[in-house]
Amino acid sequence: MQSKPLVGISSCLLGENVRYNGKIKLDPTVKFELGKTVSFIPVCPETESGMPVPREPMDLFQTGGSIRMITLESRIDMTGVMEEWIKKKLDELSEIKICGFVFKARSPSCAMNSALLHAEFSLERNGEGLFAKAFIERFPSLPVEEGEKLHDPVRRDSFLKKVFSIHKARYR
Ligand code: SF4
């Protein structure tokens, strides 16, 4: 039996140099508090789909009926590149039986509901990152949370209980 549950995590929360601006964004609470009891599987949708560090920032844009991920200066639509990578990555993650995921807030790839979303007459911080959205649709029963929400000990305990419950059920 895998002794610690496997939990996916946005790589930058572990302090990996993968962010668009080349700056480190370690989340010590997530890395060290959760890391006592789970093993992390780091995932960075943007670098793993071939984007460099540093890179041009991107946001989500509502265009017609779909949400696109577009670079802010050169206006390149990266949605297709990301969606192709997501399909392969979700298949890979289903093989290793992860028990939950911790996402980076405010990212057009990783946020659960806090990315900037440009619509025709509005700009709101309620966008679902393309990877996070696809992950949640593919694995609806797995616990998921944005990293900074896990700074709240009650929320963290609740997340961990769900992770351990799935882990135990898998290896019963
Ligand atoms: S938020 Fe997601 S895509 Fe952006 S650097 Fe972190 S892991 Fe990579």
Average pLDDT over residues 86-109: 97
User: How would you classify the pairing of strands 58-63 and 39-43?
Assistant: unpaired
pLDDT at 71 over 70: yes
CB count within 10 Å of CB 4 equals: 15
**Which atom number of ligand 1 is nearest to the Cα of residue 107?**
1
Confidence of residue 3 (pLDDT cuts 50, 70, 90): confident
What residues have CB less than 8 Å from 80, skipping those under 6 apart? Answer: none
Residue 75 CA to ligand 1 centre (angstroms): 19
Q: Which of 11, 27, 60, 106 to mutate to test the pocket of ligand 1 (most atoms within 8 A of CB)?
A: 11
And the tokens for 107?
């990212």
Contacts of 10-17 with C-beta under 8 Å, sequence gap 24+, read 10/42, 10/43, 10/44, 10/102, 10/103, 10/104, 10/107, 10/110, 10/147, 11/42, 11/43, 11/44, 11/47, 12/44, 12/104, 13/102, 13/104, 13/147, 14/40, 14/42, 16/42, 16/44, 17/53
Average pLDDT over residues 148-172: 95
Confidence of residue 148 (pLDDT cuts 50, 70, 90): very high
pTM for the whole structure: 0.97
Q: What is the pLDDT of residues 100-138, one digit of tens each?
A: 999 999 999 999 999 999 998 999 999 999 999 999 999
Atom 6 (ligand 1) nearest CA: 12
Identify the CA nearest to 148 among candidates 136, 156, 158. Answer: 156
**Which atom number of ligand 1 is nearest to the Cα of residue 12?**
6
pLDDT at residue 2, as a whole number? 66
pLDDT at residue 1, as a whole number? 58
